[in-house]
Structure 1
Amino acid sequence: MSCLFGFDVGTKVVGVAVGNRLTGTARALAAVPVRDGEPDWQTLDALRREWLPAELVVGLPLDNDGKEQPMTRTARRFAERVAERYALPVALTDERMSSQEAARRFAAGRAAGTRKRSDAKSIDAEAAAVILESYLVQA
């Protein structure tokens, strides 16, 4: 029951990460496409069945002043939908700077030779891992 999912919600891709409350760690899992405003629910359903998370964490995009912006509504809507679909608790957490940290990690991996340019599509999943790690530190 210590498994959690983290989500970085975007208009084209939803990044998914898996984390563990006991270890306080998270890792990128998948970048799920969004089409016509809808995430690929079949892929999300399959990930849920495989990992059986007990809780979901959705990154809440706020502007630099901590105020809501248009993407905030998109993330809130996604959070409502996954809560209803999976009947699991959903936490919303400030995701400011998660994309920058994910990009920094990706660049460091490229410099170390552990990441390839073709891995760039997984940066959204890495952002979800950053969101989930931030949540776990606060919890």
Structure 2
Amino acid sequence: MPEETLLALDYGTKKIGVAIGNTLTRQARPLEVLVSSTRDQRFASLARLFDQWRPDRIVVGLPLALDGSEQYTSMRCRRFANQLRGRFGAVVELVDERGSSLEAQELLGTNEADDAMAAAVILQRYFDSLPA
């Protein structure tokens, strides 16, 4: 597999956690949290990140119910992933994000939400699922 740079997004309507990693090291790290009040601001911030990092692939956390079924936020997330494909021509992978915020809090040793760390957890799950 050729080396690829990946951005991971923990999507929310108010905040998007962002993480970065590559297929060579298979290590994810939190990057930043995008806070935007409008859709245009959100996509302008994403365009800046895409220009800066030139990712080969985007990993988006898919919110599922505890039993693995889809919910309203799953649909919104799938729509967001489709918008990324359309606007940026990006290859987008959806990854189950159940428990990623709790795992991020455990890693940070805090009860505060950290969307960038949750994005790193999601990306690490993706890397861990790749064949050796």
TM-score by length of 2: 0.89
RMSD: 1.8
Q: What are the equivalent positions in structure 2 for 1:76-91 lying under 5 Å apart?
A: 76-91=78-93
1:24-82: CA deviations, max 9, x gaps?
A: 11111111114245662222111111110000011000011000111111111110011
2:116 maps to which residue? 125
Question: Does structure 2 conserve the Cα–Cα contact (< 8 Å) formed by 1:13 and 1:39?
Answer: no
**1:99: which partner in 2?**
101
Flag the structure with higher helix content.
1
Aligned to 1:14: 16
Q: Which runs of 4+ in 1 moved over 4 A?
A: 36-39
Q: Which amino acid aligns with 1:97?
A: G
Q: Which runs of 5+ in 1 are unaligned?
A: 111-116
2:62 alignment partner in structure 1: 60
State the identity %: 41
Aligned amino acid, residue 55 of structure 1: R
Change (3 A) 1:37 1:70: farther
- Alpha carbons of 1:22 and 1:81: their partners in 2 closer, same or farther (altered >3 Å)? same
Q: TM-score, normalised by structure 1?
A: 0.85
Q: Relative to 1, partners in 2 of residues 1:102 and 1:38: Cα closer, same or farther, differing over 3 Å? A: farther
Contact 1:14 1:39 in 2 (8 A): no
Matched residue pairs, number?
Answer: 128
